[in-house]
Structure 1
Amino acid sequence: MEEKRSNGAIYDVYERPPFPMLFGLSLQHLFSMFGATVLVPLVVGLNPGVAIFSSGVGTLLHMLITRGKIPAYMGSSFAFVIPMTSLMKSFGYPAVAQGVFSVGIIYLIVALIVAKAGSAWIDKIFPPAVVGPIVMVIGLSLAGSAATNATINSATNKYEIKIFIVALLTLAATIFYNMYFKGFLGMIPVLLGIITGYIFAIIFGLVDFQSVAQAHWFALPNFNSLFASKKLYPSAILDMAPLALVTISEHLGHIMVLNKITGRNFFRDPGLNKTLAGDGTASIAASLVGGPSVTSYGENIGVMQMSKVYSVWVIGGAAVLAVLLSFVGKLSALIQTIPGAVIGGVGFMLYGVIAAAGLQIIVDNKVDYSKKRNLMIAAPILVIGIGNFDLQLGNLEFTGVAMATVIGIVLNLVLPKVAASEK
C-alpha cells in the first residue's frame, strides 16, 4: 500500500529529487550542520575531520536501522563537551572513546526496554499540552547561541558592530530567498543565505583564508581507535553514560518535531526503539574511529521545515558528502572559515522555525490556556527550557531542555484534570 503523502511537502520522506537538485539540497544540510559539528571537536581537542566523518557514517547507520523512514542528521553532541574535555586532558582519547562507547550502549539498552514495553505510553505522557511547549523550547533554547554568534568576535570575546551587520544581512538574505524565490532556488534558501552572508563576511574582513592555503587537497582524518589502549577507564564511563539520559530526552523532542512537520508518527513506525538504536549505534561507530558522541540535529530539522523537503535521500546525500569532505582538506578548511556572524544570522531563522512548529502544535490541537492545568504545564517548561535552568551533579549536567522535558512529563502525570478553583 502506498504511504500517505505529507501535506505541503515538495519532496516527501521517501521521494528522491533529481540528482542536480539532490546535490544542492544535500549541500544545504551539510552547511547547516557543519559549524556545530566541527565546533565540538575543536573545543574538546579531537580531530574535526574525524567528527565530520563520524557524523556522515552515523547518519547512514541511523538511516539503515530505521529502514530509511526518518530524515534525521546525526552531528556532534554538545551535551558531552564538559566530560569529554576533562577526560581528554587527563587521559587522552582512549578514555573519551570508552565514554562515547558507553553512551551508545545506554541508548541500545533503552531501545531494548522500549521494544519490550511498546510505545503506547508515549501518547499518555506527551499530549499536545506538553509537546507544544517542549518543541518551542528546543528552538528557543538555541537563541542565545545565535545571538552570541551574531554579535561577539570569538577570537577576542568582544562585541563588534560589523559582526552584527553581517548577521542581519545574512538573515535578510535568507528571508528574501525564502519568500521570493521559486522552484529549486526556493528550496535552498538557507544555502543561498549562507553563501550571501559569506560574501558579506569577506567584504567586512571577517574571513581568513590562511588555513585554506595551508591545507592539503587530500588529508586523511586522524582516526583513533577505541582499542588504542587496553586500559579501562571507569571514570570515563561513569562521567558520560548518565548523560545519555539527557540526549535521549532531547531525541524525543526532535522526533516530536519531525512528526509534526512530516505528518507522521515515527514513534510507531519505524518505532522509538529503532530511532534510539540508530542514535546509539552512531555513537558506537564514532567511538571506533576517534569521533565525539553524536545526536540528531535541530539545525537540519529547521532546514526541512523551511524548505518543505523531507526526503531521506537528501539527508543521506548530506551524509555521503560529509564522509567525502572529511578527506578533502581544502574544502573542509574552507567551510571552517564560515564566521559565526553568518551561522548566527541563519540561526535566527532556523531556530525560530523550530519554535514556530511547537506553536503550531498548540494551535492545531486547540490547547486551551484558560485552563489552569495547561497553563501550569506550559509556563515552567518554557522558562526552564529557554532560560537553560540546568542541573549539575558533579560532571553530570542535565540541560535546560532536558529539565524542561522531565518537568513537563511529571506535571502532566501528577496534576489533576481540572483545578479545584475551576470545579
Structure 2
Amino acid sequence: MQAKNDNNAPRYSLYERPPFPTLVGLSLQHLFSMFGATILVPLLVGLNPGVALFSSGIGTLIHLLVTRGRVPAYMGSSFAFIIPMTSLLKTFGYPAVGQGVVAVGLSYLVIALIVAKVGTGFMDKIFPPEVVGPVIMVIGLSLAETAAQSGTQINGHYDWRAFLVASLTLLVMIFSNQYLKGFLGMIPVLIGIAFGYCLALVFGLVDLSPVQSADWFSMPKFDFLFMNHGHFDGAFYPLAMLTMVPLVLVTLSEHLGHLLVLKKITGHDFFVDPGLNKTLAGDGLASVFAGLVGGPAVTSYGENIGVMQLSKVYSVWVIGGAAVLASGFAFIGKLSAMIQSVPAAVTGGVGLMLYGVIATAGLQVLVDNKVNYSQKRNLLIAGPVMVIGIGNFHLALSSQVDFSGVALATVLGVILNLLLPKEGRAAK
C-alpha cells in the first residue's frame, strides 16, 4: 500500500501501479532524466540519437520481460564504450560498432549462464563491497566535471547565464523534493527541468528552430548490423570485440552496484528474485538488440535510480512507462526535437544533483556493509581506484584502443582485491 504519513516509506512500492495520469507524469520525469545522457552518447560517437532513444526504450522493455517485471532498471546508452565505438566507427564504419555492441551483449549472456550454473559466490569474491563502493563513487564523481562545465559554460566559455540557470535548477529540485507534497513531491527532477527550461528561454539559451522545422512523424535512421551507409558489409571485425568486451568489467560493476543500491532503497533482494542471472541476461539482450538496429551499448542508469531515491517512487510500472514513451518519442519528430532543445545549462544543473546521488550511493554501499578503513587493505584498494577513475588516468594502446580511467579503476580494484591478503594490519 502507498504510505501517507511515513516520510521514509515509498510513495509507490515496487509492483504498485499508479493511476494513469500520475503514471504518465512520473514516467516523463524518468524520460527527461535519462534523455540527455542517452542521446549524448550517440552524438559524441556519431550514431543516430533517435535510434539510441528507441533502442534504450525497447532494451528496457526487454530487460523488464526477462526479469519478469521485477527490477525497476532503465537501460540507457553506456558511456563506458564511447572511445572504442568512436574509433571503430571512424575506421571501419557501423558494422564494426554493431559487432562490438553485440559482443558486449553476448558477454553478458555468457556471464549470466555461468552465474546460473555456479551461483553468485564467485561474483561476491570479485566484486565485494570494498570494490563496488569506490567504483560506484567513481562512476558518479567522474561525471562531476561534465555537470560543472555544462552548468558554467556556453560554447566553451564561462557564461553567468549558464551558472544562474544550473544553480536555480538545482535549488528548485532540492526545494521541490524537500517541501512539496503529493504528486508534485514525486517529480522534483521534472519540476527542476521545467523551471530551468523556462529560465533558459528568458535568457535566450534555447534554440526552438529545430522544433519548428521538425516533422511530426520522423523515422529514426536505423543502421542495421552488416549494413554500412545502405550497403551490405559482411566483414568480420575481431578488433571490435578486442576493444569493447574488456570494458564489460566497468558496466558489470555498475550493474552489481546498481542492484545493491536498488536493494537498499526498495528493500528487495534482486540477487535472489529474479536472480542475478536474469538481470544480467536482460542487460545483455538489451545490448544485443541495440547493436542489431544501430544503437550504442546500454547499461542500467544511475540517473533513474537517483530519481527513485529522490521521489521515493520505486514502481516498475513507471520504468516501463518511461520505456514506452522513449521508444514512441523516437518517431515523433517535434517532441524529440523539443526534448533535445533542453540546454546544457539545465541538464548540468540536474547532473549536479543526480551524479552526486550516484556517488553517495557508493558511499552508502560502504556504510551499509561496514567497510573498515582502519584496515590498510581497504585503503589500498579505495585510494588508487578513486584517483585513477576520477582523474581519468587512462591507457591508450593505439588510436583505436583506449581504456578509460573508470575501466582501469574497476580492473585495478578487482586485481587488488584478489591479490592483497585479507588480514591486513590496521592503518596508523
| Structure 1 and Structure 2 fold alike (TM over 0.5) | yes
Residue identity opposite 1:164 in structure 2: F
Contact 1:31 1:191 in 2 (8 A): yes
Describe the shift of the 1:132–1:80 C-alpha distance in structure 2 as closer, same or farther (beyond 3 A): closer
Alpha carbons 1:377, 1:408 under 8 Å: kept = yes
RMSD over equivalenced CA pairs, Å = 2.1
What is the CA distance between 1:95 and its match in structure 2? 2.8
Q: Structure 2 CA distance, aligned partners of 1:109 and 1:365?
A: 29
| Alpha-carbon shift at residue 349 of structure 1 (Å) | 0.8
Maintained 8 Å contact 1:261/1:357: no
User: What is the CA distance between 1:157 and its match in structure 2?
Assistant: 1.7
CA deviation after TM superposition for structure 1 residue 261, in Å: 2.1
Mapped to 2, the partners of 1:28 and 1:422 lie a distance apart of 45
User: What residue is the counterpart of 1:181 in the other structure?
Assistant: 180
Change (3 A) 1:135 1:421: closer
1:268 and 2:267 matched: no
Q: Which has the higher mean CA deviation after the structures are superposed, 16-25 or 128-137? A: 128-137
CA 421–41 in structure 1, closer or farther in 2 if over 3 Å, else same = closer
1:108-119 aligned within 5 A: 108-119=109-120
Greater CA drift, 160-169 or 312-321: 160-169
* 1:340 paired residue among 344, 349, 354: 344
More off after superposition, 83-92 vs 11-20: 83-92
Q: Are 1:119 and 1:271, in contact at CA under 8 Å, matched by a contact in 2?
A: no
Q: Find 1:299's aligned residue among 275, 298, 303.
A: 303
Deviations along 1:316-373, one digit per CA (max 9) or x if unpaired, are 0000000110110000000001011101101111111222223233333433333333
Verify the 8 A CA contact 2:306 2:354 in the aligned structure 1: yes
Match of 1:412 among 388, 410, 417: 417
2:69 is the alignment partner of 1:65: no
Match of 1:82 in 2: 83
**Is 1:226 matched up with 2:221?**
no
Which aligned pairs between 1:319-398 and structure 2 lie closer than 5 A?
319-394=323-398, 395-398=400-403
Q: What is the CA-CA distance between 1:86 and the residue it aligns to?
A: 2.6
Q: Deviations over 1:189-210 (max 9, x none)?
A: 0000000011111111110001
Which of 313, 318, 321 is the equivalent residue of 1:314?
Answer: 318
Q: For the Cα contact (< 8 Å) 2:46–2:89, is it kept in 1?
A: yes
Contact 2:261-2:365 at 8 Å conserved across structures: no
Instruction: Quote the sequence identity (%).
Output: 67
CA change 1:364–1:225 in 2 (3 A) is closer
d(CA) in 2 for partners of 1:210, 1:421: 62
1:7-22 aligned at under 5 Å gives the runs: 8-22=9-23
Q: Tell me the distance in 1 between the aligned counterparts of 2:185 and 2:90.
A: 46
- Quick one: structure 1 residues 327 and 116, their matched pair in 2 at CA, closer, same or farther if it must change by over 3 Å? same
8 Å CA contact 2:31, 2:322 repeated in 1: yes
Give the CA deviation at 1:421.
6.5
2: CA distance, partners of 1:252 / 1:28: 24
Amino acid at match of 2:396: Q
Distance in 1 between the 2:161 and 2:288 partners?
42
Counterpart position of 1:402: 407
Secondary structure in structure 1 of the residue aligned to 2:299: strand
Structure 1 residue 285 and structure 2 residue 289: aligned? yes
| Counterpart position of 1:122 | 123
Q: What residue ranges of structure 2 are gaps of 5+ in the alignment?
A: 1-7
Distance in 1 (alpha carbons) for counterparts of 2:97 and 2:362: 35
1:246/1:398 contact within 8 Å kept: no
Matched residues, number = 415
Cα 1:419–1:236 change in 2 (3 A) is closer
Q: Is the Cα–Cα contact under 8 Å of residues 212 and 333 in structure 1 kept in the other structure?
A: yes
What are structure 1's unaligned runs of at least 5 residues? 1-6
CA 1:331–1:137: 2 relative to 1, 3 Å? same
The CA distance in 1 between the partners of 2:219 and 2:20, in whole Å, is 27
Give the TM-score normalised by structure 1.
0.92
- In the alignment, what sits opposite 1:3? none
* Range 381-390 or range 196-205, more displaced: 381-390
Matched, 1:215 2:211: no
How far the C-alpha of 1:230 sits from its partner, in A, is: 4.2
Residues of 2 paired with 1:97 and 1:128: CA distance?
33
Cα distance in 1 for partners of 2:86, 2:303 equals: 24
Tell me by how many angstroms 1:220 deviates: 1.2
Q: For the Cα contact (< 8 Å) 2:133–2:257, is it kept in 1?
A: no
What is the match of residue 131 of structure 1?
A: 132
State the alpha-carbon separation in 2 of the partners of residues 413 and 272 from structure 1: 22
- CA offset at residue 283 of structure 1? 1.3
The CA deviation string for residues 159-217 of structure 1, in whole angstroms up to 9 with x for no partner, is 21211111101111111111110111101000000000111111111100010011001
Greater shift, 178-187 or 396-405, is seen at 396-405
